[in-house]
Each structure stands twice: as C-alpha cells, then as structure tokens.
Amino acid sequence: MSARLVPACMLPLLATFSGASYAFAQSSDEPEPPQKLVKHNVAATKKKSAAKLVFAQVLFDVDNDPVTDLKTSDIRVRENGKPREVVLLRFAGSQGPTTAAGEFTNRSLMTPTVVLLDRLNGTLSNAAAASKGLGDVLQRMQSVNRVYIYSLTNHGDLFPVEPLPGTKPDSNAAPEPSAAELRSKLDDATRRLNGLRGKDYESSSPPGMRWKMTFQALSALVSEMASIAGRKNLIWVTRGEEEDRQFQWVVLTPSQFRRLSGMALGSGVAISTLDQAGPGADPVGLQQLTTLSDVTGGSFYAASDTEPAIAQAMIDSRSSYTIAYYSPPGEKQGKERKIRVDSVRKGVSVHLLKSEGAADADPDELEPEAFDAEARSSFDATEIRQGVTGSRDPGTGTVHFDIRVDPADVLIEHRGENYQARLSMMFAAYGESAQWATWPAAPADVNLTPDQFQKASTDGIVVSRSLRLDDQRQRIRVMVFDRGLHGIGSVTIPVSEIVVKPAQ
C-alpha cells in the first residue's frame, strides 16, 4: 500500500522527549503514485541575532541562544511555490532520551567545523594576516570544541594544525585543546610554514598546477569529513595571486567544480568561502566561490569577515533542524526544486542550509555504505538519538543490549491501526589494533500498537539484541539506521564498563 499524509489538525497531540515535532504517513486502500521523501537542514535563530551578526554576542550572550523548541506548526515549506506538509522536524541539538542508570548515549555535540587556511593561493603576507585573524577569533572563543584547522601549503599538501581524529574510535584519544592551546598550535604552525616557503614561490607554481593541487586538497578534506554522519562545516580561507598588479583568483575547472560540489553535497559538507582577494578580484573566480558556497549550503564572506564566518558556523551548529516532507509525483527528473522555508512564529528567523539528503534513494544501497562509514568513523553519529544498556555473561561471553531509539528521530508511518518504522542495526567491535570486526546488519523493524506508541513517545522505542564477544574486544559500537529517512545513530561503549550479569 502506498502512503499519504494525515492533515496536522487530525493528528493526536503526542508528547516527545527530544523537542522534535513530527507528523505521520497513513496507509490508504487506494493505490497512489509513489511520493518522494525530501530532507533539508534549516537553522532557526532569533531575528535580532540574524539581523545583526556580532561575534561577541553570538558566542557569549545568552540572549542569542538558538531556538530549540520549534514545532511543525511553526514552519511553512513551499516547493516550487506550492505548500508542502512537514512530516518531521527534528532539532539537531536535542539530548534524546533521559539517561537511565548504566546507560550510554550519543549525546548532542557541536557540528564539526574545519577551517582550511590556503597558503598555496596567496602571498606570505596574505597567509600571515589570515592566520592572525583566525588566531584572534580563537582566542576570544569560550570553547573550540570540534573545531579543526588545516593549512594548504605552497607544495599543495594539507598540514594538520589541529586535525580531525583518526578513523577508529579511541577511548584514549587526547582531550580537545582549549582556545588558548589551539591559538598556540596555530601560531607554531604559521612560524614553521613560513620558514619552509621559498622566495621564488610566486614564479614557481603556475596557475594550472595550483588549481589542480587545490582541488586535490579540498577533495581529500571533504572525503575525510564524509566519515562523520550529519552536517559539517568547512571554511576555506583563500586568496588569488597578484600578477602584473592584478589579482587572479583560483578558479576550478567546470569539471572540478561539479565534482567538488557534488562530493560536498553527498557528504553533508557545507563549504563557506572567506575572500582574501580584496578589491579588483577576478569576477569569474569570485562568482565561482560564491556559487560553491551557495550550492553546498555555506556562506561567502569578505576578507575582513573572519569573525562572522566562524560565528555563523557556530550559529548553524547550535540551531540546526532536519525537516522532511513528501514531494508529489509528476516532477520532471533532474528539475531543480526551489525551496522556501519560513517561520510563522513571531521573532524567529529560519533559513535553509541547503544540504539535502538523498531520502528518495534506494535504502538497500545506502544502508551498507552508511554502516561501513560509521564503523570507520571516530565520531558517534547523532542523527538518531539512542541510549544503550548492556549486561554480559562472563561464562559464555554473551552480551545483551537494550537499545532505546528516540522516535522523534526516525520516520514513523501510521499504517492501519499501528505505527511502523523501518530500522536496521549493526554492531562493530574494536581492539588495540587498527582492525575491527562487524556483525551482519539485521532488520529491526518496529510495529507498535497505539498504546505502545504512546509509551514509546516518552520512553523510547526499545530494541533488544545479544551477541558474543571475545576478550580482545575493548569497545563496541551499536549502530541504528533508519531506512525511511536514511539517518544513522551510534553509541560506542567500553566493554569493561558493561555491567556483569550476576551468577544464577
């Protein structure tokens, strides 16, 4: 049977514990053409914050806290001028289920922000000014949690100032630096890279070669960020070369531009560009960088806007929502959708972040890719909030898990009398070496009666699984994939902290 939407006024008012708001698809006895589920990210802020972006206020003033309690009734979505009913509105900063005793959760974290200082496409003085500007911003921040910095050297290499974590979960990973410590790392890297730069740099690297190296470095960084589930920010601080007293911008070829923007969209990476070229920049390159930011959901900033660039990334991280709605059949393939999202709540501004998920793709293809990427990631995924409790039997090596899934983070369909969700689960285990083991993915579909759903709305959807672990496994990651929304959540647990089952 196909699905159709139930008008919001006919839906029961259901309590949720995560601050998300959602409607349901309901079954119909009459066949209907399949609809396409569309996902977007939006940011909601107080209008006074959006009207005047002041760095100190954004990071330090409590009056600029994100809007965290929007409901579907507060949002209006129009696609190609036609209204669409929102079937899910999920706040990315929600904490998920209330943590129970002995439960591990994938708590809410800031969206990762990566800053790339481009020393390949600029002069020594430009690079020094960009580093100083970024350092001044870092020094004033209360927290630099999940802020990572790279420099693109004059040889086209990515120099890690504060790199992204490795590709394996590590309970012994070094703590993230303070703002002052990160500033110190940046200053040390600037001095080191200045010393490695040759005097004949300006004449030794022709534009065509620089463009190729720039594309390769950006692609490598986007690929590394792709292992992190959800939306990520990449801020590219760049400047063109001065030749014959004219600024010439770094310009990617059309093919490179399409490939890079496609990679960024597919990986959920919003690329913001920070213009260091100043007046007289080549308009073609300027337009390309502006378009790159617009297409991927980032923003374009002038040379003096380092503070607003970082601040806006932080605002988007703290105020991001995922919305989903059904797009009716009949649209031409490949036709660009014009999306407009507004808030009807007084004093709230909503803007589209433009990172659209491929919710209409085949889940049989996306599921193994999502599980494989998450198994390799150093971050727990928080698109689906979940809490996990475990107990192990030392005699048999069997570990039993109860996984509580936040129903507000998955697509729930109202079919007949029951509420259904299409979920799947997978486990990955890690030891001291770089190798890890995975168990085959298994369906974890949910079919709840109205009473069961009412209870799950406050307590969570509980799924139980058991598996055997050998003594070499130190950490285990529990992953849940939503085949409807294509979101993923994971929780990594130290095996030593799993409760030992009492002897009978």
The residues spanned by each domain of the chain are: 113-311
What does pTM read for this prediction? 0.70
DSSP string, 24-35: -EEE-SS--PPP
Report which secondary-structure segment, H or E, holds 77: strand 75-79
Tokens of residue 86, six digits: 């929102």
CA angle 95, 99, 102 (to 5 degrees): 145
CA 37 from chain centre, in angstroms, equals: 19
Q: Which is it for the CA torsion 375, 145, 403, 504, positive or negative?
A: positive
The CATH number fitting domain 113-311, selected from 3.40.50.410, 2.40.128.20, 3.40.50.300, 3.90.1530.10: 3.40.50.410
Output the tens digit of pLDDT for each of the chain's 504 residues. 233 333 232 232 232 333 344 444 444 444 455 677 888 878 777 765 443 444 333 343 334 456 778 888 888 898 888 999 888 888 776 554 556 667 898 865 667 889 999 888 776 777 778 888 888 888 877 778 788 999 998 888 899 999 988 756 665 566 778 888 999 999 999 888 876 554 444 445 565 677 888 889 999 999 888 878 777 889 998 875 444 444 455 667 788 888 898 888 878 888 888 877 555 555 555 777 788 888 787 888 876 677 777 777 766 666 778 888 888 776 555 556 688 888 888 888 777 765 444 445 688 888 998 999 889 888 888 888 899 999 988 888 899 999 999 888 888 888 888 999 999 999 999 887 666 888 999 999 999 999 999 999 888 999 999 998 877 788 899 999 999 888 899 999 998 888 887 655
Q: What is the CA radius of gyration of the chain?
A: 24
* Burial class of residue 338 (count of CB atoms within 10 Å of its CB; 0-12, 13-18, 19+): exposed
With contact defined as beta carbons under 8 Å apart, do 154 and 119 qualify? yes
What is d(CA 382, CA 487) in angstroms, rounded to the nearest whole number?
Answer: 9
Q: Which residues is 343 bridged to in the sheet? A: 75
What is d(CA 401, CA 439) in angstroms, rounded to the nearest whole number?
Answer: 14
Taking alpha carbons only, the member of 93, 95, 92, 75 closest to residue 84 is 75
Q: Can you tell me which residue has the tokens 């002897």?
A: 503
What is d(CA 189, CA 314) in angstroms, rounded to the nearest whole number?
Answer: 24
Q: Which amino acid would we find at residue 475?
A: R
